[in-house]
Structure 1
């Protein structure tokens, strides 16, 4: 029982530290799609933002040879690199709320 209580305390402490870092850390923007990247930094938790940033970086490196209409997909509940590329090409400067899965957002507990 003592070990369980200790593990529970450590888990809660880890969650508090992660929430603090997500809310109060300043991130360095490094991609060419800065407006979308800064919007993602405001929306997503630090841990998920790292994965979202990887998708944004992939979108920055894409070159389109031809265009055709096809369904775009999520990658684990956030926009994929294809979606970020389309946002860049269509001059979208923020992530639409319909593409944000609330459990990955900083304000998920609210």
Structure 2
């Protein structure tokens, strides 16, 4: 991976990951990524969000981002809410190879109502 990916509960983030072990059922998780200036800028990225426990792909779609910045973000919450488990997020460049940008894994231990 050529970039950095961190998770938070809001848009304000200094590129430090927050602990996601407890989260509200319908809480948006915000993924902030930084290409560290190593990749060409684009107006969209491909995001893949997976529940590692059951292999369910929660999100696999291009998302718009600011092409003028190395740092961008995408937020997501599953339509039926979060469930405890292991999750993985991967970002890819929208190119013919789907070049990996960054990835992160996290665990939700408790879902709050």
What TM-score, normalized to structure 1?
A: 0.25
What TM-score, normalized to structure 2?
A: 0.25
- The structure with the greater share of residues assigned to strand is 2
- The structure with the greater share of residues assigned to helix is 1
The structure, 1 or 2, with the larger RCO (C-alpha pairs under 8 Å, 6+ apart) is 2
